[in-house]
A and B are shown apart, each in its own frame.
Chain A
Amino acid sequence: MKIILVEDNKELAHNIQTFLEKEGFICETSFTYAEALDKLASFEYDIVILDIMLPDRSGLQLLEWIKREKIESGILIISARNAVDDKINGLELGADDYLTKPFHLTELNARLKAIYRRKKLNGERLISFNEINVNPDTMEARVHGNLLELTKKEFDLLLYFIINKNRVLTRQSIAEHLWGDYTDNLANFDFVYQHVKNLRRKIEQAKGRDYIGTVYGLGYKFNTTP
């Protein structure tokens, strides 16, 4: 996957770039509107990660330009301004998704892959890992071809794990991924433990290997190497 990151803050851009390159993506960065315009005019990208506040112009203007030029890239807006207006404007102008800063890098990863699936793979492709097959459209997960009886949250959790395999997932990032806004005031994340426990049990019952490990003190990790 080839990504262009339009973000004026160099440190933040560096974080995202490091993370995404580790994921095996090609990630280029632009710090200004003009720079991004140049790159978008010359090269093709699967996804544009777009900050709204840029030093020379608004990210929304760049979004308008992308749509005018009929560039096919998927667009993910990232902005600190959690103003409802920005979100609505961005989505109305044709952005595919919207993420508010600060976000978990693993969440960004999940969103990027979801956009990529929808836009580039027409949402048809199964996500597979060894004996596990996950179909985000039908919300079905199979282990050795056997359908798992998962709740919606457990399914989302499994997908989040597979998308972020070999990444440390904190309980906080899992909670935010599964419950979004509702985690705001929740005191502890015991319920994440509950969901992870249930998911592991169900995979195990279907004779799947237990890939989900606990990272002491941090959270969980989907280990591809035993």
Chain B
Amino acid sequence: MKLINQFTVWYLIITLFVLLAGGVIIYENMAKEIDKEESRELQFWIDNIAGRLERGVPLRKINHDPVEIKQLQFDAPEIPFHVKDTFAMHQQLQRVERHLKGSASYKINGNHYLISTYDIMVEPDDIVDAVQKSMIWIVVILLVFVLISSRVISNYILRPFHATLAAIESFRLNQKNKFMPDRSTTNEFNNLNDFLITMTNKAKQDYQSLKEFTENASHEMQTPLAIIRGKLELLMESEIKDEQAKLILSAHEAVEKLSRMGQALTLLTKLNNQEYAAGQSINLSELVTKKLSDFEDLFELKTIAVTRIIQPDVYVSLHPTLADILLNNLFNNSIRHNFLNGSIEIDLRTTRLTLKNTGEPPSLPPEELFNRFKKGNQDTESVGLGLAIVKQICILNQLAIDYQFEEGWHKIQVSWK
């Protein structure tokens, strides 16, 4: 839920409660005010009638609906003006309605009269009705104004926040430009920005030192390896026995493997650091064709039959180095895990590259084949990072990769949009 909607909902809930309470207060006050006005009106009438009696207007001329005049004992104390509710027949409406009745007694010309009169009362239902209607209109107007104004105002207030959000989204650790949001008039946003600036600078520093470490580690590791390798090669040239030759070669091969492993791990680190951003689209059709001719004699050595369907001008957005590594690893893989006299099928379409090769059924669950150092066959000389690199390249370039084993065929498919 958007922040502004949350604010609006809470605001409206609170407003609703306040309006409800307000409605009750309005009702109470209105009812009281009306009663007061009405009783004043009644008192005025009664005073008026008493005045007429005093002026000698005969009793029977006055004493008819809605006026009621009764004679009281003269020595009874005068009753002051008071009102009470009563039900009476309403002439026009022809039904019993609630009325307000006012009474007072006067001593006029030696007589003691109790004068009463009544008037139809504004009913509570009517007041409630009126209050309700007004409240509904208020709520409607409030709703419209709040919904419109909140959006306009939030756009204005949250603009620095959205700017920060956009800046942080486009922020890349491996790019040189720093995270520099604009100052805002809102303290909270400035605090957030300050925090983000500190954090991104720190992250950049850490990234830089990690990158340097990786590069240095690879450099520092390769140098001793080169030394060992050189020494072993010099040793090979000297007078040695067969037994020693075997030992030297084993050591040499192990060094070789270690060095390749270091290079593969460095590559994986570089991939994770996103050092190979896809710049432009490359023509995969041309590249696949070129790779096939590069691998030709490797196919031949295992007498592997290659079937190819290559659509011309298939473009995919990928760094050229990565495209090269991707195809190398896939092709190498399809040769290594193939039978002698096996087959390979390459199918390149506009949106996908499918590579099928014959081979033993996989000994690992398919999804694990892409993990680092997972090998279907433990004796092989391979480092076990080839498919991990392939997968990493696919992930970083929004390519989908899928592996299946069907009827003696390993099938790897890379697809893109």
- Interface residues of A, Cβ cutoff 8 Å to B: 9, 11-12, 15-16, 18-19, 22, 53, 80-84, 101-106, 151, 153, 167-168, 170, 172, 179, 181-182, 184-188, 190-191, 194, 215-219
Contacts and interface: CB of A to CB of B under 8 A. Distances in A.
B245 interface: yes
A177 to B, nearest CB: 14
B381 A187 contact: yes
B242 A217 contact: yes
Contacts of A16: 230
Interface stretch (B123-131, B198-206, B290-298): B290-298
10 contacts: A80-B218, A80-B226, A101-B226, A102-B222, A102-B229, A103-B226, A170-B236, A182-B298, A186-B335, A218-B236
Given A106-B233, A191-B301, 11 more contacts: A9-B223, A9-B227, A19-B233, A82-B263, A84-B321, A101-B226, A105-B233, A172-B256, A185-B382, A186-B332, A218-B236
Contact of A102 (B215, B225, B246, B266): B225
B301 to A, nearest CB: 4
A contact face: mostly helix, strand, loop, or mixed? mixed
A170 B252 contact: yes
Interface of B: 215, 218-219, 222-223, 225-227, 229-231, 233-234, 236-237, 242, 245-246, 248-249, 252-253, 255-256, 259-260, 263, 266, 294-295, 297-298, 301, 321, 328-329, 332-333, 335-336, 380-383, 386
Nearest to B233: A105
Contacts of B231: 15
Contacts of B266: 82
Contacts, number: 109
A105 B228 CA distance: 12
A172 B233 contact: no
A172 B223 contact: no
Contacts of A217: 242, 245-246, 249
B234 A19 contact: yes
Nearest to A167: B237
Contacts of B234: 15, 18-19, 105
Given A172-B256, A184-B260, A187-B382, A216 B242 contact: yes
B280 to A, nearest CB: 16
Contacts of A188: 381
Contacts of B253: 172
Contacts of B295: 182
A106 B252 CA distance: 14
Nearest to B381: A187
Nearest to A103: B226
Nearest to A11: B227
B380 A187 contact: yes
Given A172-B256, A186-B335, A19 B230 contact: yes
A44 B228 CA distance: 31
Contact of A184 (B219, B237, B321, B328): B328
A153 B223 contact: no
A81 to B, nearest CB: 6
Contacts of A185: 328-329, 332-333, 336, 382-383, 386
B328 A12 contact: no
A12 B298 contact: no
B249 A218 contact: yes
B227 A15 contact: yes
Give the most central of A18, A80, A84, A188: most B CB within 10 Å.
Answer: A80
B370 to A, nearest CB: 15
Give the most central of A15, A53, A215: most B CB within 10 Å.
Answer: A15
Contacts of B227: 9, 11-12, 15
A82 B218 CA distance: 9
Nearest to A151: B297
A190 B381 CA distance: 13
A51 to B, nearest CB: 9
A216 B245 contact: yes
Nearest to A22: B237
Nearest to B244: A217
Nearest to A18: B234
Given A102-B222, A172-B256, A185-B336, A179 B229 contact: no
B240 to A, nearest CB: 9
B252 to A, nearest CB: 6
A102 B237 contact: no
A80 B237 contact: no
A81 B383 CA distance: 20
Nearest to A102: B226
A105 B229 CA distance: 9
